């Protein structure tokens, strides 16, 4: 009943917001001389609106990008073009008009409760120098039951299909949770001698081996048996959605877990938003509002994918123990020998501890030493690995350098 209770609360939330908006409009009337009160009610209405959870994918909003060529810098139009549409995800191409012969990069976005637009800064930073594709995962509550299920095998299969379509010479940049699947897909293609195996593989803040330096997230996943997660965290999608009756791990539960990890910081942000609205500091208010509009846009995960991730990645540590399977066959990272490997970690990452991503190097002994690189970013938290100043100024140059060195 969790999903139905949440949906009822969400409907009440909308009604509260409507009442506040009407009160603000009434109190702001010049004849009442209640502008200070109206301003406070208006600011409160903005807070309620900003705190609203949605299930709608935001827009990337990248319509153009500035690039450098032989004639200086110029702006080029960017269009989002679906390259391959599948039930649970779309391979999205950020096509730049009139720009060719740039390294082709597949950015694998996390499937962990947020939409791929969380990677907006990653995409925007890489676009001037690369031909960018993104794994744009769909909200499971919108996928009809007739389209079947989606588990870890399917996730890896999607990546293989994407790489096969993009062809030889593609580079992968995987962020957070999909690092495991990206390494698995690369190993499968390498073992088969498939020419679509990526030229470089960049794994950023991903849980390759969560036995190393475990965080509170890792501890939570291991201190309870799997049936507890299935009994307490899996819900059924209500009838109002296209995916009615599908069993999912709701995005609002994942969001609640993330909020509780840094609750005081989020409370402080909303207090700052309220003050900014009262002081007419529109720039500060817009920055906070935009962050939470993205952060509170959530997607649901198929139950089988979520439970298999908890079991295989966090409880059984299947990949580092050599027990990870794909369609009945053991995955062999040691088969990778032509793909360059870069791992990236953040010093202050409280989701993926230091050493967990770097563990990929030990699993790939047949990659030559000169094709193995590691970057530990001082001062960066989890999100700072793929967004913000440290990503743009220190991490991205290392990623770009590796990709261009293997062209």
Q: What percent of the chain has pLDDT over 70?
A: 88
User: 302-359 pLDDT, tens per residue?
Assistant: 999 999 999 999 999 999 999 999 999 999 999 999 999 999 999 999 999 999 999 9
Between residues 161 and 114, which one has the greater pLDDT?
A: 161
Question: For residue 215, what are its two tokens?
Answer: 């965080």
Average pLDDT over residues 365-394: 96
Judge contact between 285 and 269, C-beta under 8 A. Answer: no
pLDDT higher than threshold 70 for residue 138? yes
What pLDDT is recorded for position 12?
53
- Reported as a pLDDT band with limits 50, 70 and 90, residue 32 is low
pLDDT higher than threshold 60 for residue 33? no
Q: 27-49 b/e with 16+ CB inside 10 Å = b? A: beeeeeeeeeebbbbbbbbbbbb
Average pLDDT over residues 119-125: 95
What pLDDT is recorded for position 127?
97
Q: How far apart are CA 184 and CA 182, in angstroms?
A: 5
Q: Any idea which residue has 């794909």 for tokens?
A: 326
Q: How far apart are CA 329 and CA 79, in angstroms?
A: 39
State residue 61 phi and psi, 5-degree precision: 70, 25
State if pTM tops 0.95: no
Q: How far apart are CA 172 and CA 198, in angstroms?
A: 7
What pLDDT is recorded for position 30?
59
What pLDDT is recorded for position 142?
95
- Level-2 CATH architecture, domain 81-219+304-405: 3-Layer(aba) Sandwich (3.40)
Judge contact between 319 and 376, C-beta under 8 A. Answer: no
- Reported as a pLDDT band with limits 50, 70 and 90, residue 20 is low
What pLDDT is recorded for position 283?
86
Question: For residue 94, what are its two tokens?
Answer: 């950020």
Average pLDDT over residues 264-280: 82
What pLDDT is recorded for position 282?
82
Most confident segment among 42-46, 236-240, 265-269 = 236-240
- H or E, element range at 363: helix 360-363
What pLDDT is recorded for position 48?
67
Judge contact between 95 and 117, C-beta under 8 A. Answer: no
Alpha helices per DSSP H over 28-134: 35-50, 120-126
Average pLDDT over residues 23-49: 62
What pLDDT is recorded for position 401?
97
Average pLDDT over residues 226-239: 92
- H or E, element range at 14: helix 2-27
54 DSSP 8-state letter: B
What pLDDT is recorded for position 265?
83
Q: Select from 198, 161, 188 the least CA-distant residue to 325.
A: 188
Q: How far apart are CA 292 and CA 12, in angstroms?
A: 20
pLDDT higher than threshold 80 for residue 28? no
Judge contact between 334 and 366, C-beta under 8 A. Answer: yes
What pLDDT is recorded for position 276?
85
Judge contact between 48 and 16, C-beta under 8 A. Answer: yes
State residue 105 phi and psi, 5-degree precision: -125, 130
Q: 140-159 b/e with 16+ CB inside 10 Å = b? A: bbbbeeeeebbbbbbbbbbb
- Reported as a pLDDT band with limits 50, 70 and 90, residue 6 is low
Bridge pairing between strands 89-96 and 131-137: antiparallel
What pLDDT is recorded for position 388?
92
Q: What is the mean pLDDT of the chain?
A: 89
User: 67-102 pLDDT, tens per residue?
Assistant: 887 677 889 999 999 999 999 999 999 999 889 889
pLDDT higher than threshold 70 for residue 137? yes
What pLDDT is recorded for position 293?
80
Question: For residue 304, what are its two tokens?
Answer: 């089988």
């Amino acid at each position: 009943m969790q999903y139905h209770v949440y949906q009822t609360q969400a409907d009440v939330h909308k009604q509260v917001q409507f009442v506040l908006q009407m009160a603000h409009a009434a109190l702001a009337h010049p004849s009442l001389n209640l502008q200070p009160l109206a301003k406070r009610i208006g600011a409160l209405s903005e807070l309620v609106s900003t705190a609203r959870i949605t299930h709608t994918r935001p827009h990337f909003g990248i319509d153009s990008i500035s690039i450098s060529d032989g004639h200086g810098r110029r702006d080029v139009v960017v269009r989002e073009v679906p390259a391959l549409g599948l039930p649970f995800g779309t391979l999205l191409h950020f096509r730049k008009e009139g720009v060719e012969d740039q390294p082709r990069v597949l950015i694998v976005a996390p499937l962990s409760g947020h939409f791929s637009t969380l990677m907006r800064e990653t995409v925007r930073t890489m676009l001037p120098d690369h031909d960018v594709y993104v794994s744009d995962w769909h909200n499971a509550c919108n996928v009809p039951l007739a389209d079947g299920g989606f588990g870890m095998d399917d996730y890896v299969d999607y990546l293989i299909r994407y790489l096969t379509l993009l062809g030889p010479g593609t580079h992968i940049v995987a962020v957070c949770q999909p690092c495991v699947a990206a390494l698995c897909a690369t190993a499968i293609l390498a073992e088969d001698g498939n020419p679509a195996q990526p030229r470089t593989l960049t794994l950023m803040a991903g849980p390759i081996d969560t036995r190393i330096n475990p965080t509170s997230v890792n501890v939570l996943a291991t201190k309870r048996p799997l049936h507890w997660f299935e009994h307490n965290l899996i819900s059924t999608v209500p009838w109002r959605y296209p995916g009615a009756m599908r069993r999912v791990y709701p995005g609002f539960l994942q969001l609640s877990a993330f909020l509780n990890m840094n609750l005081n910081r989020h409370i402080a942000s909303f207090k700052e938003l309220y003050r900014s609205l009262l002081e007419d500091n529109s720039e500060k208010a817009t920055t906070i509002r935009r962050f939470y509009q993205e952060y509170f846009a959530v997607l649901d995960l198929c139950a089988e994918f979520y439970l298999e991730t908890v079991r295989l990645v966090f409880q059984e540590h299947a990949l580092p123990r050599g027990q990870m399977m794909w369609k009945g066959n053991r995955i062999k990272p040691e088969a990778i020998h032509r793909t360059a490997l870069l791992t990236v970690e953040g010093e202050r990452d409280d989701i993926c501890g230091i050493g967990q991503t770097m563990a990929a190097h030990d699993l790939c002994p047949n990659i030559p030493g000169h094709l193995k690189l590691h970057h530990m970013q001082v001062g960066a938290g989890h999100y700072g690995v793929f967004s913000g100043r440290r990503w743009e100024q220190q991490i991205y140059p290392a990623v770009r350098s590796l990709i261009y060195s293997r062209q």
